[in-house]
Structure 1
């Protein structure tokens, strides 16, 4: 059976505002997120990534459910958010996801290196795909 005892999936159990919040975050994405999104689609076309995915109380920047990988792009303000980032990482690991974080500066100055690191983490999932 899919979902909980009542047949509801995790998405159906989310608050009504979650979908609109995800949409808003996608529309107002910063330049590092837009660049990485384009690069992921070009460099790793066999992998399906989603943007601004609601997971529990969080919205993650990018997620591949197949690879069980979450990618977070951290802005300059994340140095002050180390505790909340650690809590988010613990939650996601408990849900069965690996988390990889990159600074905005990394995406802006070394996009190829960032994509290569992501590709290395997803290589086991891409085997046997065209």
Structure 2
């Protein structure tokens, strides 16, 4: 399978929810974060990826009904690559695009507000001077 051709096809044949969300996140419009769409990761194509925030946004429409086990396995695989996976129903994006954007920003900001883990202070020992 040619992943580049498949990614191009997926970008060309977007759903209405994908088009709506893309208008909100493209060109760093959402909080200055850069998003890419239909990014191949392992054997999957992630709908929207923000590398800086290690976030994947997956839109779930009617085709996801009855595929909860598949989606859970997919999410687990994507998380192994260090991403947080946020699943949004198409209805959320189409009915309240601003609210969907706020949901995404909340996850991105939450990740950024994690406290830094600092190394323990060096043990006080004899100082060397030359």
Any conservation in 2 of the 1:43–1:115 contact (CA below 8 Å)?
no
Which structure's CA Rg is the greater one? 2
Aligned residues: 111
Deviation at 1:122, TM superposition (A): 1.3
1:60 counterpart residue number: 46
TM-score normalised by the chain length of structure 1:
0.80
Segments of structure 1 that go 5 or more residues without pairing to the other structure are 1-14
- Contact 1:62-1:72 at 8 Å conserved across structures: yes
Gaps of 5+ in 2: 114-130
Structure 1 Cα separation of the partners of residues 31 and 81 of structure 2: 25
User: Is this contact kept in 1: 2:25–2:34, CA < 8 A?
Assistant: no
Please give the per-residue CA displacement for 1:26-63, whole angstroms capped at 9, x wherever unaligned: 00001100010001137415111000000000001000
**Which of 86, 90, 111 is the matching residue for 1:100?**
86
**CA RMSD, aligned part only?**
1.6
TM score, norm. by length of structure 2: 0.80
